[in-house]
A = this chain, B = another copy of it.
Amino acid sequence: MDIATLIGFLVGLACVIVGVVADGGNFALFFNIPAVTIVVGGTIASTCIHFSAKQVLGVAAVMKKTMFCKLPAESDLIQKMVNYAAINRRDGALALERQVATAGDPFLVKAIRMVIDGQKEEAIEEQLALEIQYLQERHADGKKMLEFMGAGCPAFGMVGTLVGLVQMFSNMESPEKIGKGMAVALVCTFYGAFVANLFFIPLAGKLGMRSKGEVFLKQMLAEGILAIAAGESPTSVREVMQSFVSEHRRNDIKPSDNVRKAA
């Protein structure tokens, strides 16, 4: 998922560069600081008014994660949990302590900590469900914000173009000057349309897709953790987690092979 997003941006950018080269290749026209200021500044300003500063900063983190982090494979996560179950069975919950350091995912760390602390299954279940709900809300807020920005960008592009047109029309001396004014004014509209359609709008969609996938993985993990907390065997932990995975994908995992490695 990570690389596809980046490649998408680069391909989209390359297509526009091809268009610029084909029409004369005057790239300097498209580097216009005041136009960037109006479109990007205006969009960020209106987003700060709608959302809180904290949320605006939060979405940057979410976007970075969406663009650069790949979701782990289901089979890897299941294998990880099967390993934990084996350790738990063999050496007791306290032996999981060493695994926490390498777990990576804060959700998983928190879940394992609760198992080590010997919390009740109901408490763990409730807490993890709450965490998943917070995750969904953060994603939904991020998506809403990206959609708001995707709508604001073209609007501020138009605002910038109108600023340019008003000044150009009030001062029409030579056709050449008119043309230059028009070109500068239209760059704002270009920025608005380009950034919204290649960045904010598809990224809002991607966040929605990724949210689904991540929530699914977290729910699968929660099932596994609960089975471990109940002291179930590695084999039954695998079975519980696989009941979350569709029949289609089950074939990708070879149970006998993995259980042996975990045991």
Contact = CB atoms under 8 A, between A and B. Distances in A.
Contacts of A84: none
Given A156-B197, A181-B23, A166 B38 contact: no
A120 interface: no
In the complex, the 4 A-B pairs of residues with the closest C-beta atoms, listed nearest first: A15-B41, A22-B34, A12-B45, A50-B205
Nearest to A25: B167
A69 interface: no
A193 B50 contact: no
Interface string A164-183: 11111111100110111111
A186 B165 contact: yes
B193 A159 contact: yes
A211 interface: no
Q: Is the interface of A mostly helix, strand, loop or mixed?
A: helix
B48 A34 contact: no
Interface residues of A, number: 88
A160 interface: yes
A126 to B, nearest CB: 10
7 contacts: A11-B48, A12-B41, A12-B46, A16-B163, A30-B166, A46-B202, A159-B194
A249 to B, nearest CB: 11
A263 to B, nearest CB: 29
A226 B198 CA distance: 49
Interface stretch (A2-10, A75-83, A87-95): A2-10
Contacts of A221: none
A108 interface: no
A220 interface: no
A167 B8 contact: no
Contacts of A246: 130, 134
Given A167-B26, A171-B179, A193-B155, A7 B160 contact: no
